[in-house]
Amino acid sequence: MNDTDNALLTYFDAAARGFGDRLRQVPATHWESPTPCTEWNVRQLVNHMIQGSRTYVALLRGGSSGEFMANLNQHALDGDPVAAHQEAVAECRAAFHADGALDRIVDYPFGPVPGRQLLGLYVVDAVVHTWDLARAVQLDERLDPDTVRWVLDNFRWIYANVSESPISDSAEYYGPPTTAPSGPTSPQNRLLHAMGRTP
């Protein structure tokens, strides 16, 4: 694995850590609270992140896009959600670190992509949903600035040839970008607006 790939993998760690940090702070009274993802409450958002890590592992190990979609929203919160998230992230991290994983073409549901690009998709998902969770539970909304800058710098590469994405005309999984107020805006807010959020 070269230095560039090692750097890329650090963004996975930062994104997963950010979500895990907020997850540990979720009060017991907030699991049914709404999130900026209007179809999900906090419990459903956390379930998505845990099951998402597991489905990425399956893709990296040769799983099909059909299996990915069938398993993505399976219930994953029978026990301790923090422990379940840590376990899923650890398994996903190991799958991305496996020899040849970043070069392997995986059967992503919205177009085949190399594992390297799949990692980018994971990073965006984790970063944006970290903000969603923080907003829902009124926690610190500041995202890791280095990871945010990396996502912005590589936004078109991350979503290249992906049919459902913020840079396509898709409507099922991504809402339209929101309008930023006039004047300077932070990199974090630029990313959130691009992903259909209203920071």
Q: What is the pLDDT of residue 74?
A: 85
Reduced DSSP (H G I as helix, E B as strand, rest coil) percent helix, strand, coil of the chain, to 5: 55, 5, 40
At residue 72 the predicted structure's pLDDT band, cuts being 50, 70 and 90, is confident
d(CA 126, CA 128): 6
pLDDT at 28 over 90: yes
Q: What is the pLDDT of residue 1?
A: 41
Q: What is the pLDDT of residue 129?
A: 97
For the segment 13-21, the average pLDDT, to the nearest whole number, is: 98
For the segment 105-115, the average pLDDT, to the nearest whole number, is: 96
Q: Which residues of 179-199 are buried (b: 16+ CB within 10 A; e: fewer)?
A: ebeeeeeeebbbbbbbbebeb
- For 146-185, the pLDDT digits (tens) are 999 999 999 999 999 999 888 887 656 677 888 877 777 9
Q: What is the pLDDT of residue 7?
A: 87
| 151 or 71, higher pLDDT | 151
For the segment 92-105, the average pLDDT, to the nearest whole number, is: 97
pLDDT at 106 over 60: yes
Q: Which domains does the chain have, with CATH numbers?
A: 3-164 (1.20.120.450)
For the segment 49-72, the average pLDDT, to the nearest whole number, is: 93
Q: What mean pLDDT, rounded, does the chain reach?
A: 92
Report the 10 Å Cβ neighbour count for 125.
18
- The pTM (predicted TM-score) of the whole model is 0.94
Q: Counting Cβ atoms within 10 Å, is residue 80 exposed (0-12), middle (13-18) or buried (19+)?
A: exposed
